[in-house]
Each structure stands twice: as structure tokens, then as C-alpha cells.
Structure 1
Amino acid sequence: MKKTITFFIVLMSGVNIYAQENIDLLTYENTQDINFFSSIKNGAQVKEYVTVSKNSVKIGDTLILGTPTSQEVNTRTYSGSYGTKARGGVAQSRSTAKKTYEFLQMGRPAGFGSIMAAMNGDAQSMADNSLKNTSVVVNEIKTYHRGSKNKPLYVVMVLGEINGRAFGINKYLSVMDTELAIESGEVLLKNRKMTRDEAIAKLKEAKELMEIDMMSKEDFEKLKKELAPIITAKPQN
């Protein structure tokens, strides 16, 4: 028991050790640049993060939870008995499935619940489909290395509910990889910038509408001018 308590204290102290650095603005390019990320400590606090698609996420921003992209299957086996009498040792299995988020974890990334789950060898509890379309507030943005200090960074967001309400006993949600969560549609940004592919698709649709006289040439040219900077921009690596 004493060893367990000591291990828990070490873990908790380790959580605080690395959260001493603040970054006012972090970009996706920074996270991939060894000249930048080699000097960043795990758990560094970030005030604003600019994604690979040039969208900005700040502390206090409101986001929307999109559609879960994973599925959790639970199987339970029932013995073939009725009352106190067994029925020939027959057993039945019943499986239930529910949609879960791949990148949205219940609780903080290194909170009490996460540490206890790790100590018990349990999997992390992921958010499920019941939270789809929920509005959330960005409470914290943190960045961590993908391994050693010489590995690129990834960004974690801690989310809270609107008006200070809590997500049950966990109180918060953690987006364990911001870029992948946005790319998969599990997290939806408000005022998100249109991607190049989306701009091309929209312009093609407008051209088809113009050809069948459902859009004027003037409106098409106006839209074309608006979308041109997005379409002609240099694609991200």
C-alpha cells in the first residue's frame, strides 16, 4: 500500500512539474519545427493555437462536438440457469455496441481519474454519442511531445460545459489530439475557414448552377473572386 501511495504522489508531482511554461501563440508549423519544439516542456500552457488549416482556437472559445468515429463493444456471458437449477451448462453471450469518440476522453488528460485507471490497468473512458452536438468551452490548451523531447508536439484541449456545468463526475473532457479530432469531425470549430478542396467544390457547384440559369454570372464572378485566394493558396505539407 505504501508503494502505491508513493507511486501516486510521484505521478501527481510529475503532472505539475511540466506545466510551468506558457506559450502565447502556438502554430502547427511550430509543433513540427525541431528548432522550436526541442525547447518546449511537456504540459506547456498555450493561450492560442493555429491549426494546420489556419484556424485559430483560443482559451474561452466555444466549440461543437461532432460525430463519434469509433465504436465500443461490450460482451457479457450469461450462465444457462434458472433459479437454483442449472440447465445443462448452457451459456449465452450478449454483445452491445455504442458509438464512442476516438479522441475525446472523459476527464483531464492527466487527472485523478486517468491516473487511477492507469494504475488499475483499465482503459481510458471515452466520451460517447450522447454528447454529440454539445456546445463546449475551451478551458485549457496544452502541448506535449510525441515521445522524447526531440519528437514533434501535439495539442490537447480541456473542455468544459457552457455556464460552468460539469460532465458528470469527470467534470471535463479532454481532446487528446486536436488536429486529428478536427480532421475527423469529432470537434467542430465555429467560424472555421474553408479548405481548398471545399472551395473548389463550392465553385464547381456554382458553375453548374450558372449553366442552368440558377445563378447569375455576376454572382458567380463575385463568388469566384472570394474563393480565389483559398484555391490558389499553397497547399499545406
Structure 2
Amino acid sequence: MKKTITFFTILILIITTQAQEQINLLTYDNTQDINFFNSVKNGTQIKEYITNNKNSVKVGDTLILGAPTSQEMNTRTYSGSYGNIARGGIAQSRSTSKKTYEFIQLGRPAGFGSIMSAMNGDAQNMADNSLKNTKVVVNEIKTYHRGSKNKPLYVVMILGEINGRAFGINKFLSVMDTELGIESGEILLKNRKMTRDEAIAKLKEAKELLEIDIMSKEEFEELKKELAPIVNGQ
């Protein structure tokens, strides 16, 4: 018993003594620049993060959960009975399956529940589509290395509930890769900038509308001028 207590005491100390340093502004380019990231410690707090597509996410921002993109399903089976089965009662069971998120998990990263699940060989408990369209607040932003300190950084967002709502038994959600969470559409930003691929797709659609006289040439040229900086990567 003493060994178990000692083990968990050390484990908790390791977690709670992770660097609490703070970076006011972190960009995606910073996370890939070894001259920058090799001096950053795991667990460093970030106040604002600028994504690869120049979107800004700050502590305190309100975000919306989009649709899950994982192919995994969270399946639960419920059972019950009506009357005394021995006297002709009826036993019933039903299963419900919900699609899970690829990048959003229940609870904090490396929280006590996550540690216990990992020790038992269980997969992380990912959020499911019952949370789709839920508004959340960015409670914390942290950055971690993808291995040793000579590996690039990735950014984790810890999301809190709005108006006292909890996510089931969990107080927080964790976006385990902010870049991929936003890129996949699992995280929706209020003022998300259009990506180059999206701009090209919109121009192609506009050209089709122009060809069938649904859009005027003037409207097409105006849209083309608006999207040109995005397409050209400016």
C-alpha cells in the first residue's frame, strides 16, 4: 500500500510541478522553429496562439464545437426489465452509438482520470456528438513537445463550460491538437479566416455560376479580387 501511495504522490508532483512559464503570443511558425522551441518547457502557458492560417485564439475566447470527424463510435448498451421475468415479465436491452471527436477529449490532458485510464490500458475518453454546437470558453492554452525538447511543439486548449453547464461528469474538455482541431472543423472560430483551398473552391463555384448567368461578371471580378490575397498566400 505504501508503494502505491508513494508512486501516486510522485506522479502528482511531476504533473503539478510542470513548468508554469508563460508566453504572451505563440505562433505556428514558433512551434516549428528549433531556435525557438528548444528552450520552451512542456506545460508552458500561452495567452494567445496564432494558427498556421493566421487565426487567433486567446484565453477567454468563446468557441463552438463543430461536428466530430473520427470514424470511431462510442457505443453504450442499456438494459432493463418490466415485471417479474419468471412470471412472464419482459427483459429489454438497447444500444446507442454516438460518433466521437478525433481531437477533443473529456477532462484535462494528463489529468488523474487520464492517468488511471492509461494505466489500465484504456483509450482516452473522447467527447461525442452530443456536444456538437456547444459553446465553450477557452480556459487555458498550453504547449508541449512532440517528444523531446528538440521536437516541435503542439498546442492544447482546455475548454470550460458556459453558464454553469458541465460536460457530463467532466468540468473541462481538452483539444489535444489545436491546429488539427480547427483545420478539421471540430473547433469553430467566430472569425476564422478562409484557407487557400476554401478560397479556390469558392472561386471555382463562382465561375460555374458565372457560366450559367447566375452571377454577373462584375460580381465575379469583385469576389476574385477579394480572394486573390488568400489564393496567392499573401
> Which TM-score band applies after superposition, normalised by the shorter structure?
0.7 to 0.9
Partners in 1 of 2:170 and 2:10 — Cα distance? 22
TM-score (norm 1): 0.84
Partners in 2 of 1:74 and 1:196 — Cα distance? 37
Q: Summarize deviations over 1:9-61 as a string: whole Å, max 9, x none.
A: 21221122223210111111111111111000000000011111111111111
Q: In the alignment, does 2:60 pair up with 1:72?
A: no
Secondary structure of the residue aligned to 1:205 is helix
Partner residue in 2 for 1:233: 233
Q: In the alignment, does 2:176 pair up with 1:176?
A: yes
Unaligned runs of 5+ in 1: 77-81, 84-93
Contact 2:109-2:176 at 8 Å conserved across structures: yes
Q: In the alignment, does 2:86 pair up with 1:49?
A: no
Give the alignment of 1:184-223 within 5 angstroms: 184-223=184-223
Equivalent position amino acid for 2:100 in 1: T
Q: CA deviation at 1:95?
A: 7.7
Mean Cα deviation higher: 160-169 or 146-155: 160-169
TM-score (norm 2): 0.85
Partner residue in 1 for 2:82: none
Partners in 2 of 1:75 and 1:233 — Cα distance? 46
Q: Summarize deviations over 1:103-161 as a string: whole Å, max 9, x none.
A: 11111112222223234433321111111111111110000011111111111000012
Secondary structure of the residue aligned to 1:163 is coil
Mean Cα deviation higher: 54-63 or 212-221: 212-221
Q: In the alignment, does 2:107 pair up with 1:107?
A: yes
Superposed CA RMSD: 2.2
Equivalent position amino acid for 2:39 in 1: S
Task: Identify if the C-alpha distance between structure 1 residues 134 and 20 changes in structure 2 by more than 3 Å, giving closer, same or farther.
Answer: same
Q: How many equivalent residue pairs?
A: 220
Identity over aligned pairs, percent: 79
Contact 1:105-1:173 at 8 Å conserved across structures: yes
Equivalent position amino acid for 1:44 in 2: T
